[in-house]
Structure 1
Amino acid sequence: MPTSDAHASDHHEPQNPRLFLPESTRAQLPEGWRADAPDERDVPELTALARRHETRARGWASSSEEDLLIEVSERGYLNRENLVLRDAAGELRGFASAHDRAAGRMLLTVTVDDRIGPELEDRAAEALFAWADEAARRIGAERGLEVQQIDSGAFADDDRQHRWLQTAGFEKVRTWWQMSRPVTPDEADLDSEIGHGVRIRQVERQGTGMPSEEDLRIVHDVLESAFEDHFNSHEETFDEFVFRLREDPGHRWDHWWIAEVVPDPDDPSSEPEPAGALVGVVADGEPAGSYVEYIGVLANARGRGVAKSLLRTVIADAATRGRDRVGLEVDASSPTGAEGLYVSMGWTTKYTTESWHKDVPVT
């Protein structure tokens, strides 16, 4: 969507002046192009850009204005730096977002308008990835690191994005299957099929409707422990974890579950112990769906049906709410062989994404 002259002339100053491109990179941009920090008023343009990218690279679009608002709102800038490129007419042509996700891990999104021709697309991508390197150095320095990892992604069939990532020094390190499972109304009682000695409960809610901090800490501790032997695990503080998950437009406290196991099911005095956790969100669509953001089981509780019980719970919950599907992401090289469980319970791969990494020296 073109930007009006009025919008261009009174565009807000960046929330953080460090966001500007390095002089050497800025000089390589086409004449009249400028770099700026986006704000909430840019969300419609950013959403249109993201949806065009998804349609071209994957075949359909899913981004919403709520998704992009997370990136560029005042709240989003607490742990993100963003940059947009505008051409001489003021139209938005590129967007990059650097998310300080956890100590040592910076998530990077780079999106370029595919209507400006290969030469300008490549120049815009080069500038955005150069800015990302500088952002990584700043973030790494603030964290006191010697090396900052940049973690970016691409759809499996997006050759254009692959080329830019390779040119910028990234290496493909992982493949992820984005899976979906249909849900039918008669599965509303599926949560009755819980493993022996396993109990599933939602996080406790206080009189205000807010969750118990103790239960939230249980979820955080379980997931941190469950994923410590998984690919690219980076420790995330409790505050970082809760803040990030609450940002999701689909976040709901009643989509958080804790799995407990009774060490000795035959002993009435045996106290249940935390063994797993599942965090879900509402997925956009008509009707809405459910999506599993996280599911983790402690190593000493694996093999007792905890993961299957959690999955049956989220399926039953979706059916009760009138939803028609549950989605999730699985590491194609998962050390736990999780994909086997998902396939056995009816999940199939809808599309595939990739992780690309680059380590940037901070000093």
Structure 2
Amino acid sequence: MQETDGDASPVVALPDGPAGVTWRRIDAGSVDAVHAIARRIAEDETPGFPVGRSELDRSVQAAGSPGRTALAMRDGEPVAFGFVVPGAAAVRLPGGVLPAVHGLGIGRRLLAWQVAQARAVGAGPALPMGVRQPSVAVRTAALLAHAGFRPERTFLHLRRSPGAIRPAPLPADLRSAPFETRFDEPLRVAKNLAFADHWRSSPEDPEAWAQHHLGSWLRRDLSRLALTADERVAGFVVTWEPEDVTDESYVALVGTDPERRGEGIARALLTEVVAASAAAGRPVVTLEVDADSPTGADRLYASVGFERALEAVIHGLPS
């Protein structure tokens, strides 16, 4: 009988080999080991951009089942990991292999398992699969290309260094407010509307919204909403507190009601967030943006002092 996950999707058997390597599933007790692998890879590929443990906790949770996880062990030490994370718009395949064991065939086996497991949970023409990697990860890009993946989209990691920022005014009919809990649902609705024309964005239901955006990493006090007189959300900047980084804020979401784009709402809120973050002892602000954003967001961020720090590429497997 074929093993299945809780949602009845098939579970693909873990890879076999190479010699001296064994495979097992990832559970709560092995996330620290996965974190150690991810940190070592980041030190090699993207120094200065550490991977937080909470990010991996979210991947374990989003995978939804141990059957969608894999951990490679060599001589009793963890050396590689992979997840298969289903989503509304795509199936993500996060993972990595320690540089010390490159060339042994571990990455090739891991990727083949991820692809097979992604197909088992429904990846196909309607639900593409994608692998996100820093553009400097040349070895991984070659592995992906050999497996048939192709670059599909580039995302820019932007950073604003400490420094004064000139305030920008909101339109006269709007007021700025922190992200209080009473706005959780109105902001979810506003986010779905603002991101409707973004690449591979799909509406989030209340459960997904809470899971992805309302965790312990959220800084409500450093987030800002633009509200109408009847308290409808016309724009928003949502800020997170990066793990293990004490002097930074991460802007996770920036959006404006499509009917009010071009009025300077996002710029005004961003200048408030930058100033509030500095006052809170976090003078560095980072964010990510689609290099081909339909709203021209990269130009907005450049105008308030953000500079390019890193590029990441989404590689997709054609159906």
Count, aligned residues: 312
For structure 2, the residue ranges without an aligned partner over 5 or more in a row are: none
Residue 287 of structure 1: CA displacement? Answer: 3.4
TM-score, normalisation: structure 1: 0.77
Mark the CA change 1:304 to 1:98 in structure 2 (over 3 Å): closer, same or farther. same
Residue 113 of structure 1: CA displacement? Answer: 1.4
Which residue is equivalent to 2:108? 126
1:96 to 57, 64, 82: 82
Residue 288 of structure 1: CA displacement? Answer: 2.7
Is structure 2 residue 224 aligned with structure 1 residue 257? Answer: yes
Deviations 1:1-48 (A, max 9, x none): xxxxxxxxxxxxxx98965536xx52xx21342221122332332222
1:280-299 equivalences in 2 (<5 Å):
280-284=239-243, 287-299=246-258
Given that residues 37 and 96 in structure 2 are in contact (C-alpha distance below 8 angstroms), is that contact kept between their aligned partners in structure 1?
A: yes
Given that residues 19 and 83 in structure 1 are in contact (C-alpha distance below 8 angstroms), is that contact kept between their aligned partners in structure 2?
A: no
- Matched to 1:115, the amino acid is A
CA distance in 2, matches of 1:340, 1:76: 32
Mark the CA change 1:69 to 1:200 in structure 2 (over 3 Å): closer, same or farther. same
1:27-106 equivalences in 2 (<5 Å):
29-72=17-60, 75=61, 78=64, 81-87=68-74, 89-100=75-86, 102-106=87-91
Cα RMSD after superposing both structures: 2.7
- Matched to 1:246, the amino acid is L
Q: Secondary structure at the match of 2:253?
A: strand
Which residue is equivalent to 1:321? 280
Residue 224 of structure 1: CA displacement? Answer: 1.2
Q: Secondary structure at the match of 2:289?
A: strand
Is structure 2 residue 100 aligned with structure 1 residue 115? Answer: yes
CA distance in 2, matches of 1:146, 1:255: 39
TM-score, normalisation: structure 2: 0.87
Residue 146 of structure 1: CA displacement? Answer: 6.3
Deviations 1:120-142 (A, max 9, x none): 1xx2112111221222123228x
- Matched to 2:247, the amino acid is A
1:240 to 208, 224, 248: 208
Q: Secondary structure at the match of 1:307?
A: helix
Given that residues 223 and 273 in structure 2 are in contact (C-alpha distance below 8 angstroms), is that contact kept between their aligned partners in structure 1?
A: no
Given that residues 80 and 95 in structure 2 are in contact (C-alpha distance below 8 angstroms), is that contact kept between their aligned partners in structure 1?
A: yes
Given that residues 105 and 234 in structure 1 are in contact (C-alpha distance below 8 angstroms), is that contact kept between their aligned partners in structure 2?
A: no
CA distance in 1, matches of 2:93, 2:222: 27
Deviations 1:42-72 (A, max 9, x none): 2332222111211222234501333333334
Residue 296 of structure 1: CA displacement? Answer: 0.7
Mark the CA change 1:357 to 1:286 in structure 2 (over 3 Å): closer, same or farther. closer
Which residue is equivalent to 2:120? 138
Instruction: Give 1 or 2 for the bigger CA radius of gyration.
Output: 1
Deviations 1:275-295 (A, max 9, x none): 112211012455331111011
Is structure 2 residue 303 aligned with structure 1 residue 336? Answer: no
Given that residues 183 and 318 in structure 1 are in contact (C-alpha distance below 8 angstroms), is that contact kept between their aligned partners in structure 2?
A: no
1:219 to 165, 183, 187: 187
Which residue is equivalent to 2:170? 194
Q: Secondary structure at the match of 1:287?
A: coil
- Matched to 1:105, the amino acid is A
Residue 169 of structure 1: CA displacement? Answer: 1.9
Which residue is equivalent to 1:149? 128
Is structure 2 residue 21 aligned with structure 1 residue 21? Answer: no
Which residue is equivalent to 1:11? none
Given that residues 35 and 53 in structure 2 are in contact (C-alpha distance below 8 angstroms), is that contact kept between their aligned partners in structure 1?
A: yes
CA distance in 2, matches of 1:77, 1:286: 26
Is structure 2 residue 199 aligned with structure 1 residue 228? Answer: no
